[in-house]
């Protein structure tokens, strides 16, 4: 890709396509727009990140294939944060303790995962994750039914 310009707004002179364009509609299109917004907001200008491009291409191809959207987006987010040096450690608590499958955890951006016992702090937004889901993220299996069931359990516990 070649571009010209003196300010942040550049003009593309030439562009070589890696593959033919994929058409997305409905929820896959919204998921791709969400991923694109993450990239625009999080990536520094003019910094070559070939692994992020590969990750984005993987996401678009899988969204086009009709795969379940939520697991694809979670993998994309985890991969993107990892590439940016901000990986969320889902293998243990912030203190290095092993996760328990049945325990609910709260993610804190400074301290990592902490056991959650129902004491909702006043800071929002909060990220809650069940121990088994965090362990699954760490080992990378994608099981749509298990993910849906875990989300339903978490929602019912927080309601």
Lowest mean pLDDT among 21-25, 120-124, 127-131, 135-139: 120-124
In degrees, rounded to 5, the angle at the alpha carbon of residue 126 between the alpha carbons of residues 101 and 120 is: 80
Structural domain boundaries in the chain: 23-87, 89-159
Res 82: pLDDT: 82
pLDDT tens string 72-129: 888 888 888 888 877 777 788 888 898 888 888 887 777 888 888 876 654 555 667 7
Query: Comparing 118 with 38, which gets the higher pLDDT?
Result: 38
- Provide the whole-model pTM: 0.62
pLDDT score of 156 more than 70:
no
């Amino acid at each position: 890709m070649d571009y010209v310009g003196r300010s942040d707004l550049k003009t593309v002179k030439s562009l070589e396509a890696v593959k033919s364009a994929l058409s997305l509609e409905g929820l896959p299109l919204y998921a791709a727009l969400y991923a694109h917004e993450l990239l625009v907001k999080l990536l520094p200008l003019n910094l070559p990140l070939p692994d992020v491009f590969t990750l984005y291409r993987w996401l678009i191809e899988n969204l086009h294939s009709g795969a379940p959207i939520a697991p694809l987006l979670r993998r994309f987010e985890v991969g993107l944060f990892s590439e940016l040096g901000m990986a969320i450690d889902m293998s243990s608590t912030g203190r290095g303790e092993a996760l328990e499958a049945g325990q609910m955890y709260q993610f804190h951006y400074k301290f990592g995962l902490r056991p959650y016992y129902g004491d909702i702090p006043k800071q929002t937004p909060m990220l809650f994750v069940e121990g088994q889901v965090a362990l699954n993220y760490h080992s990378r299996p994608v099981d749509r039914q298990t993910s849906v069931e875990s989300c339903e359990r978490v929602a019912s516990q927080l309601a």
